[in-house]
Amino acid sequence: MLIYIVKRLLVAVPTLLAVLTVVFFFVRIAPGDPTFIILGDQASQQAIAAVHHELGLDRPMLVQYLDFMSTVLQGDLGNSLVTHRPIWNEVANVLPYTIELTLSALFIGVVLGLPLGIAAARHRNETLDYAARIFSLLGLSFPAFVSAIMLLLAFAIELHWFPVISEARTGDPLSRVSALVLPAVNLGLIMVAYVMRVARSSMLGVLGEDYIRTARSKGVPARVVIWRHALGNALIPVVTVVGLYLGVLIGNSVLTEIVFNRPGLGKLIVNSLNQRDYTMLEGLMVIYAFIIVIVNLLTDLTYGLVDPRVRQR
């Protein structure tokens, strides 16, 4: 297992470095000079040169690149062009909101999706199975902002069960929870659709295996066959899909935060786009890419933990 971990780490590190390089050059190559944001369009040549010097933009590209890499690798993402505060502070202010949102969505997705998928596989081609499959196709068809708007219309605007704007007052746990419900349900239901599909098809695959037939023919009750014999193997693809789904989940959380006007990384990225805050964008891209690379690594490691065959590859 240790060798497997080291091998996976050796793959993840160059990927991360390459990702940082792409982010750096992409932001530099794109048209538009960040100085104009600081000074406005009417700035004099001297003022522009001064700001360029201050930001280090007058140095050769290679020097800027090495400087960027070394500061980022030391965990320093620099300051926002607009607020001049460290990017880490801005991120740390809203990160708890995004984490609580994505974790509750994951929770809803697994707790509802897994049993639903298993039940659909057990009752294959019966009403329950068809209903579950139609639900999951519907879930996959909803762009997150569309479902968010529908939930908002139904439960906040029409029924008044939840606040329309989910910016919770700090220090009031009840308002924080009630502000979380609709956004979490929105992300969670889409997640249920993904988890259910994979759980169903992987359960169907496992139930066709010889060892399951053996267990059945020995007279093991169906419930025990499903939960003790089949579930362990059926879980492996589910773990991968939860990892792969993270990219979708991040995108969906951006949209959900916009619709529910909720603080978080998504709102931060959209605001910095509107204000053309390049350094903030760069920092957020680095953080997102880090999260994805690390979660992929964790997924692979979990995979290796659950399935010893993977380690040997």
Footprint of another protein (CB under 8 A):
14-16, 18-19, 22, 26-27, 30-32, 124-125, 137-138, 140-146, 149-150, 152-153, 157, 201, 205, 246-248, 250-252, 254-255, 258-259, 269-270, 273-274, 281, 284-285, 288-289, 292-293, 296
9 vs 153, which CB is nearer to another protein? 153
Cβ of residue 168: shortest distance to another protein, in angstroms? 21
**Minimum distance from residue 290 beta carbon to another protein (Å):** 9
For another protein, which is the closer residue by CB, 66 or 134? 134
Q: Quickly count: other Cβ atoms within 10 Å of residue 270's Cβ.
A: 14
At its nearest, how many Å lie between another protein and the CB of residue 119? 16
Tokens (6 digits) for 258: 């916009």
Nearer to another protein, 41 or 218 (CB): 41
Write down the least CB distance from residue 295 to another protein, Å: 10
Q: Are 230 and 203 in contact (CB under 8 A)?
A: yes
Integer Cα distance of 243 and 251 in angstroms: 14
How far apart are the C-alpha atoms of 74 and 79, rounded to whole Å? 15
- Cα–Cα nearest to 184, from 302, 105, 120, 241: 105
CA distance linking residue 227 with residue 137, whole number of Å? 26
Measured from the CB atom, the residue of 64 and 220 that comes closer to another protein is: 64
- Cβ distance to another protein smaller for residue 42 or 274: 274
Whole-angstrom distance, CA of residue 294 vs CA of residue 288 = 10
Q: Which is nearer to another protein, 63 or 150 (CB)?
A: 150
Please state the closest distance from residue 170 (CB atom) to another protein, in A. 26
Which of 170, 274 has the CB closer to another protein?
274
In whole angstroms, how close is the CB of 26 to another protein at the nearest point? 7
> How far apart, in whole angstroms, are the C-alpha atoms of residue 175 and residue 203?
40
Cβ burial 56-82 (10 Å sphere, 16+ → b, else e) = ebeeeeeebbeebeeebeeeebbbbbb
Q: Which residues pair with 86 in a beta bridge?
A: 79
Tokens (6 digits) for 19:
């990702």
Task: Assess contact for 280 and 89: CB atoms under 8 A.
Answer: no
Residue 269 has which token pair? 């990225």
- Select 50 or 212, whichever has its Cβ closest to another protein: 212
Q: How far is the CB of 289 from another protein (least distance, A)?
A: 5
Q: In angstroms, give the least distance from the CB of 143 to another protein.
A: 5
Q: Which of 177-193 are b and which e, b meaning 16 or more Cβ less than 10 Å from the residue's Cβ?
A: eebbbbbbbbbbbbbbb
CB 117 within 8 Å of CB 235: no
